[in-house]
Amino acid sequence: MNRTVTSTQKWAVSNAGFSDNLIQSFVETTLTQVSGADLTPEYLETSRVSPGSLRYYGLGLQNGPYTVTLQFAKTVFASHYTQTSQSLGRRVFDIYIQGNLRRKDFDISKEAGGVHRAVARPFKVNVTENYLDIHLFWAGKGTCCIPEQDTPTTPGKKRRPGLIVGIAVPVGVLILLLLFAVLYMRRKTSEKDDDEDLLGLGPRPKTFSYAALRAATEDFNPSNKIGEGGYGPIYKGTLSDGRVVAVKQLSAASHQGKSQFVTEIAMISAVQHRNLVKLYGCCIEASHRILVYEYLENKSLD
């Protein structure tokens, strides 16, 4: 087994499996250009090699929903072997994300329509423990290993020797995954930092994730709608701790910016009056602007 952690400690890679030949390097290189890729060609010149099991771990993620796009291209078999050996290589494996089987018997060449052609597959993922687990697993189908050299066509004449490899997952998987995930993490981290700075203007209320409020209101189910305020609809919801709340979702038509929204929250939080409904917190995530109030029967939130 081979394990690697990047210098930023945000990604880790695990290689496992059996090979009858010692693999000196778990990275292979190809100079053949891959078509149909969304990345610059230089990113597709190297591929990570694994005898049977290859896992990527994205570390330090914020919990919540993500879209993970995996991009594949068949390169290594075609780079190292003669035409006869190339025809024998069929890269087939299963794709697991967060421990769940997402694709069975995934064949890169078949999905992409040939060798040195990229194919992308997006997956919806929910991160709950601050890490992402992507597992590419050879389950016995396709090619595990191929001969070091072909059977000579002319007696005594040997073909160019090849390299025994197991299932070699092309670089498109690693690079595109890293690119999408890192960019997504940076965007979410930037939003989180901005929100924390803005919420420091006054008494800081609790912040809720958009995913938590979606769950509380059953994805803002119309049956949970209890009113329509001046700035948007109001829903009844139940938080994970059992509290019943009123969730006021500001509409895009309100034209209220983030700084004005947060300033208003700080003002509401600073005011305590028996005739005012208590503000539990808010959600400022991407374009979502949501206020979470104490739920009281027959009370207005306007």
Report d(CA 280, CA 13) in Å as an integer.
41
Is the same domain home to 175 and 253? Answer: no
CATH number, residue 122: 2.60.120
Number of domains in the chain: 2
Beta bridge partners of 206: 281
Is the same domain home to 46 and 126? Answer: yes
Report d(CA 282, CA 291) in Å as an integer.
4
In this prediction, residue 246 carries a pLDDT of 92
Out of 174-178, 186-190, 258-262, least confident range: 186-190
- Is the pLDDT at 199 greater than 60? The verdict is no
**Highest-pLDDT range among 108-117, 150-159, 253-262:** 108-117
Q: Locate tokens 């990229």: which residue?
A: 118
Is the same domain home to 232 and 92? Answer: no
Report d(CA 176, CA 38) in Å as an integer.
8
Residue 148: closest CA among 81, 90, 78, 49: 81
Token digits of residue 216? 């509380």
Is the same domain home to 46 and 157? Answer: yes
Q: Measure the CA angle with vertex 211, ends 207 and 213; round to 5°.
A: 65
What mean pLDDT, rounded, does the chain reach? 72
Q: What is the CA radius of gyration of the chain?
A: 26
Is the same domain home to 72 and 108? Answer: yes
pLDDT, one tens digit per residue, over 201-249 is: 455 678 899 999 999 999 999 999 998 866 789 999 999 999 999 999 8
Is the same domain home to 243 and 179? Answer: no
In this prediction, residue 222 carries a pLDDT of 92
Tell me, yes or no, whether 111 lies in a domain.
yes
Residue 18: closest CA among 50, 48, 42, 46: 50
In this prediction, residue 25 carries a pLDDT of 63
On whether the CB atoms of residues 5 and 57 are closer than 8 A, the answer is no
Residue 126 has φ and ψ, to the nearest 5°, of -115, 115
Report d(CA 40, CA 280) in Å as an integer.
47
Q: How confident is the model at residue 3 (pLDDT cuts 50, 70, 90)?
A: low
Tell me, yes or no, whether 98 lies in a domain.
yes
Which pTM was predicted?
A: 0.44
CATH number, residue 262: 3.30.200.20
Is the same domain home to 79 and 173? Answer: yes
pLDDT, one tens digit per residue, over 7-50 is: 566 878 887 766 655 555 677 777 777 776 666 666 667 777 77
Tell me, yes or no, whether 196 lies in a domain.
no
Residue 35 is given by DSSP the state: B
Report d(CA 297, CA 139) in Å as an integer.
57
Tell me, yes or no, whether 75 lies in a domain.
yes
Tell me, yes or no, whether 198 lies in a domain.
no
Is the same domain home to 289 and 178? Answer: no
Q: Around Cβ 284, how many Cβ atoms within 10 Å?
A: 22
Is the same domain home to 158 and 258? Answer: no
Structural domain of 256: 206-294
On whether the CB atoms of residues 282 and 248 are closer than 8 A, the answer is no
Is the same domain home to 162 and 118? Answer: yes
Pairing of strands 64-73, 225-228: unpaired
Domain closes at, from 128, 161, 189? 189
| Strand (E) or helix (H) holding 174 | helix 171-199
Is the same domain home to 263 and 162? Answer: no
Tell me, yes or no, whether 39 lies in a domain.
yes
Is the same domain home to 185 and 211? Answer: no
Domain closes at, from 124, 154, 189? 189
Contacts of 102 (CB under 8 A, 6+ apart): 95, 96, 123
Token digits of residue 298? 């027959």
Report d(CA 178, CA 64) in Å as an integer.
18
